[in-house]
Amino acid sequence: MKNMRRLANWVLSTLKPINEGNYSDTHVPLSSIFYAAYVLDKLGVEFDRKRLINYLSINRKSISDVYASFYFIKTTQLLGMRLGSKERQRFIVAALQAINKLKSHRFSNRAEILYMSAYVLHSLGYRKLDDARRIVLSLKKHSNLETTYFVVETLNLLKHSLNEMKETLNFVISLQNADYGFSSTPKSFSHFIEDAYYGFRILELFGVSMDKNKLEENLKFVWRCQNHDGGFKRTEVGGISLPENCFYAINILEIISHMMHDRGDG
């Protein structure tokens, strides 16, 4: 499909500095590396995994916070890269420190930090996650779509039954726009690709779909967010292409495809 080829070419271009091997003069955010590698892997497009692993290996010692640890681990999982025991311990300590800070500090992105911390610990085989469970359950009060998304992802990671969260599902459904996409907060109206991803991902985790017309309108919305260079912008109105937006787009398209297939429409 032409649109997908354009997407793949643009995403490959974001890894060009790494592929050229000038590691000392190159700084590509770990999050962008993960998003790019994820999209290419989803599309079945070959890319230089060895150079990517070399770049990560060179920069691994500078990782000290849970945000960087999260994206580093996600990328190494995708590339099949192994972590050393000292490295694993360092990431576990970073995640535990982040969770401890959440007990006494009210960060605006508490739910995101908690999800990243829980993911890091869970991925590294650390199973004493009672603190994470207590904190995430305290965040179940509905405020906005982004927070709700990270809460649901964390509870799903911790094997918490989502069947007990009917109110949360109803809250997310209430944020569906009349035309397409999801609004970020109640009584607001917006069309951002990340909100569409949060909404669709939550519906997927709950095993809930939407009607055919809505799915088709959301599909059109995602494609309208594609720029001429092949990447995706945040809104259909305008903006630059970013690997993160491409991650959202490719996942929304996949979820919609599964929903249509389950309905017998695709």
**Residue 98 counted as domain residue:** no
Q: What angle do CA 196, 197, 200 make, to 5 degrees?
A: 85
- The residue behind tokens 């965040």 is 139
Asked, for residue 192, whether it belongs to a domain, the answer is yes
Predicted local distance difference test score (pLDDT) of residue 140: 75
The two tokens of residue 104 are 């006494």
The predicted-structure confidence for 96-115, as pLDDT tens digits, reads as follows 999 999 987 777 899 999 99
Q: Is residue 250 part of a domain?
A: yes
Q: Which two tokens stand for residue 199?
A: 């909404």
Domain annotation covers residue 118: no
d(CA 84, CA 164) in angstroms, rounded, equals 39
Residue 180, in any domain of the structure? yes
Residue 72 CB coordination number (10 Å): 23
pLDDT, one tens digit per residue, over 32-42 is: 999 999 999 99
pLDDT at 186 over 80: yes
| 191, part of any domain | yes
Residue 218 lies inside a defined structural domain of this protein: yes
Q: What is the pLDDT of residue 26?
A: 63
pLDDT class for 22, splitting at 50, 70, 90? low
Q: Is 166 within the bounds of a domain?
A: yes
| pLDDT, mean of residues 13-37 | 84
Percent of the chain with pLDDT over 70: 97
Segment 232-253, tens digit of pLDDT? 999 999 899 999 999 999 999 9
Q: What digits encode the pLDDT tens for the residues 128-185?
A: 999 999 999 888 776 899 999 999 999 999 999 999 899 999 999 999 999 999 999 9
Check residue 187 and give its pLDDT: 87
pTM exceeds cut of 0.85: yes
pLDDT at 59: 87
How far apart CA 179 and CA 184 sit, in angstroms, is 15
Structural domain for 266, as ranges: 160-266
Question: Residue ranges of the alpha helices (H) in the chain?
Answer: 2-14, 16-19, 30-43, 49-59, 66-79, 85-104, 110-123, 130-138, 145-157, 166-174, 193-206, 212-224, 243-263
| Total domains in the fold of the chain | 1
232's CB contacts (< 8 A; 6+ apart) are: 7, 193, 222, 225, 226, 241, 242, 245, 246, 248, 249
